[in-house]
Copies of this chain bind each other. A is one copy, B any other.
Amino acid sequence: MLVLSNEEIGKLLTIEECMKALEPMYHDVAAERVLFSPRVDSIGPHSLQGAYYAFKHMGGTWPREKIQALRINSDVVTHPLVAGKPRRVKQPLAPSSTGGRWVGLVLLFNTETGALMAMFPDGVMQNLRVGATSGLGLRHLSREDSKVLALIGSGWQAVTQLSAALAVRKFSEVRVYSPRRETREAFIAEQRKIHGTDIRAVDSADAAADGADVIAAATSSMVRVLEPRWLKPGVHISCIKTQEVDPEVLNRCDRVIFSNRRQSKHIDHVMQGTPNVQSESSKGWWNDGSIKMDRFADVADVLAGQAKGRQSPKEITCFMNNVGTGLQFAAAGAYVLKKARAQRVGTELPDDWFCEDVHP
């Protein structure tokens, strides 16, 4: 049983590799040769004021690679106001040698033997598969001649949104806006070291979005961050969280593609009555009757040629990373595991600890 660290996974998996690893899985999603297991969210009490315990898991079976993934998150969640807007913030409270940490784990099983093959923290892979999925959407939905990228958000999700966008299109300019100046300046300093592109901070979301070919939101906002007035012909918008858009935004788009139409996220009840989340945000667009879900296709169907990507330079398109799936971890995990074994990376623990001679 192989234990991998986030650092090791970061070295084994680039954003390009992650896109390549996810693509055949999405083809199998379109062909219905995969199994989703429902995402389960359990919300329990916590002693901290305004906090709740959130236990989440999502599984995925990918027969092509004979792999079963289960991703588990054990979080203490709060909804503080940041720059006047509520955010979903996970509190790092698990003890470690370096202080409080978060708890997210991926377990990979072999479907032929049943064996637990690997276990690792989910953070780096989670981040890469969100970015890679948005990248696949961008490839099929943004204009090929896109030059200006607006990035709303400068946190950890923004890192892979940026690298995925740069891997897919030749942007000559990237404008970054997030409400806290220090955070966005630090982000830009870091990203300039990695990418050769002109990356600059701007003082407002409007300044970022004005004239941009692609507007990518990468936030933890509980309320809308993409504005309808930005939706000019030819623009592509990208979300990593359902709350980043609302019916007004979606109704202006000519084409909306979901990362996963086959599975939805049912956490509305969690939001109701939660501190700092206004009642209007708990009535999300997914409850809005004016939104016709039927006109939204699944990225799997687009990749497999069963649904259409962008059809003209004038279309306003939207890619919605609406819900994560265990299958993304199965696909990225299968790739990382093969590479880790070939390169002898990671810590091997005795298999005997993770199986049994007693009938379960």
A-side interface residues toward B, CB under 8 Å?
3, 5-6, 35, 37-38, 40, 42-47, 53, 55, 57, 59, 61, 63, 68, 70, 72-76, 90, 92-98, 100-105, 107, 109-116, 119, 121-124, 126-127, 155-156, 347, 349-360
Q: Is the CB of B61 within 8 A of A98?
A: no
Q: Is the CB of A121 within 8 A of B360?
A: yes
Known contacts A53-B61, A121-B354; A102 and B114 CB within 8 A of each other:
yes
Besides A98-B357, A121-B360, 20 new A-B residue pairs in contact (Cβ under 8 A), listed by A number: A3-B353, A6-B356, A37-B40, A44-B63, A44-B111, A53-B61, A53-B68, A72-B107, A74-B111, A76-B112, A76-B114, A90-B360, A94-B110, A95-B115, A101-B355, A102-B114, A102-B355, A103-B114, A121-B355, A126-B360
Known contacts A42-B61, A59-B40; A53 and B360 CB within 8 A of each other:
no
Q: How far is the CA of A23 from the CA of B97 in the complex (A)?
A: 37
Provide the residues of chain B in CB contact with A43, threshold 8 Å.
35
Provide the residues of chain B in CB contact with A357, threshold 8 Å.
6, 92, 96, 98, 101-102
Q: Is the CB of A351 within 8 A of B94?
A: yes
Provide the residues of chain B in CB contact with A3, threshold 8 Å.
353
- Contact partner of A45 (CB less than 8 A), chosen from B45, B63, B123, is B63
Copies of this chain, count: 2
Q: Is the CB of B97 within 8 A of A352?
A: yes
Known contacts A94-B351, A121-B356, A156-B358; A114 and B74 CB within 8 A of each other:
yes
Known contacts A55-B59, A59-B55, A111-B53; A6 and B47 CB within 8 A of each other:
no
Nearest B residue to A97 via CB reads B352
Q: How far is the CB of A158 from chain B (nearest CB, A)?
A: 12
- 13 chain-A/chain-B pairs, Cβ below 8 angstroms: A40-B40, A44-B63, A53-B112, A55-B70, A73-B360, A93-B113, A94-B355, A98-B352, A102-B114, A102-B359, A102-B360, A103-B354, A123-B359
- Contact partner of A358 (CB less than 8 A), chosen from B6, B59, B350, B353, is B6
Q: How far is the CA of A257 from the CA of B353 in the complex (A)?
A: 37
Q: Is the CB of B73 within 8 A of A72?
A: no
Q: Is the CB of B53 within 8 A of A121?
A: no
Q: How far is the CB of A226 from chain B (nearest CB, A)?
A: 22
Provide the residues of chain B in CB contact with A351, threshold 8 Å.
94-97
Q: How far is the CB of A79 from chain B (nearest CB, A)?
A: 16
Q: Is the CB of A156 within 8 A of B61?
A: no
Q: How far is the CB of A156 from chain B (nearest CB, A)?
A: 5
For the complex of A and B, list the 4 residue pairs with the smallest distance between their C-beta atoms, beginning with the closest. Answer: A104-B360, A123-B358, A121-B356, A94-B115
Nearest B residue to A77 via CB reads B114
- Contact partner of A42 (CB less than 8 A), chosen from B35, B72, B359, is B35
Q: Is the CB of B46 within 8 A of A70?
A: no
Provide the residues of chain B in CB contact with A156, threshold 8 Å.
358-359
Q: How far is the CA of A310 from the CA of B92 in the complex (A)?
A: 50
Nearest B residue to A157 via CB reads B359
Known contacts A74-B114, A76-B113; A356 and B101 CB within 8 A of each other:
yes
Known contacts A109-B55, A116-B103, A351-B95; A75 and B42 CB within 8 A of each other:
no
Q: How far is the CA of A97 from the CA of B61 in the complex (A)?
A: 27
Q: How far is the CA of A354 from the CA of B5 in the complex (A)?
A: 9
